[in-house]
């Protein structure tokens, strides 16, 4: 099975871009070795899905998050379809690495490190370069794109990497970050980012229930009607909710 056949299938099922990386070209210091997922892995197929401009720019986080959920659901389905397509067509093994969930929630990671760094995979597959905000800028869709990965035993070889510097260092992302998570160049302060972008994630949940443990019966009743509890309740069945898309929204690259 050739790369173009796989690329065409990816576009056919709904991806906006598809790239390929030899596993030797994938470099990520924090994520585990992909061979712990698929021992015979030789290549990565990286699929990208553009984000809707209206959702990214909306100040209504329910609308912004709804669009992100759509991207995640489409990409999850397509990763499954692509994995089946490769395995059925070649007799080799493939494994899907989706956007965000499920995450490794074991200590010390607690969801902070992916099984594969989708950003580094996208760069290795020639789908973009890192910007000042430490997320990938794609030549066509700019920052408004999310990626998924298929690990495969096929020796597909890497696509040419993007040579152009797509970030003009305007610093709009740094200035607009409400948590100051981008103040140090080349680093995203993960905890600062999470407190703003995922206030109803695991950290918010732990803090809320710790407070509830020591509350009086009357205070507990009030807490159960508090908007924070209602958001935490909702997050239980839709997953971590993003409440900040500022670095994507303000980035002028390729918009």
Q: Return the SS3 of 161.
A: coil
pLDDT at position 119 is 95
pLDDT at position 243 is 87
Q: Where are the domains of the chain?
A: 3-152
d(CA 143, CA 51): 9
Residues 183, 254, 115, 70, CA torsion sign: positive
pLDDT at position 51 is 95
| Sequential pLDDT tens for the chain (255 residues) | 899 999 999 999 999 999 999 999 999 988 889 999 999 999 999 999 999 999 999 999 989 999 999 999 999 999 999 999 999 999 999 999 988 777 777 777 666 677 899 999 999 999 999 999 999 999 999 999 999 999 999 999 999 999 999 999 999 999 999 999 999 998 999 889 988 888 888 788 888 999 999 999 999 999 999 988 988 888 887 777 788 999 999 999 865
């Amino acid at each position: 099975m050739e790369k173009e056949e796989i690329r065409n299938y990816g576009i056919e099922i709904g991806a906006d871009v598809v790239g390929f990386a030899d596993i030797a070209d994938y470099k990520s210091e924090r994520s585990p070795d992909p061979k712990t997922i698929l021992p015979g892995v030789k290549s990565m197929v990286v699929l990208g899905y553009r984000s809707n401009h209206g959702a990214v720019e909306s100040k209504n986080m329910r609308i912004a998050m709804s669009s992100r959920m759509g991207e995640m659901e489409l990409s999850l389905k397509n990763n499954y379809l692509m994995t089946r397509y490769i395995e059925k067509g070649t007799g080799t093994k493939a494994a899907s690495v989706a956007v965000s969930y499920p995450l490794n929630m074991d200590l010390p990671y607690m969801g902070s490190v992916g099984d594969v760094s989708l950003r580094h995979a996208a760069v290795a597959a020639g789908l973009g370069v890192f910007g000042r905000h430490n997320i990938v800028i794609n030549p066509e869709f700019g920052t408004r794109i999310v990626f998924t990965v298929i690990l495969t035993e096929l020796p597909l070889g890497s696509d040419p990497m993007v040579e152009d510097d797509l970030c003009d260092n305007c610093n709009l992302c740094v200035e607009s970050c409400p948590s100051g998570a981008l103040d140090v160049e080349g680093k995203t302060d993960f905890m600062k980012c999470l407190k703003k972008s995922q206030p109803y994630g695991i950290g918010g949940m732990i803090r809320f229930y710790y407070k509830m443990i020591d509350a009086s019966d009357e205070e507990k009743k009030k807490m159960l009607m508090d908007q924070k509890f209602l958001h935490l309740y909702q997050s239980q069945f839709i997953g971590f909710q993003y409440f900040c898309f500022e670095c994507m929204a303000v980035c002028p690259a390729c918009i």
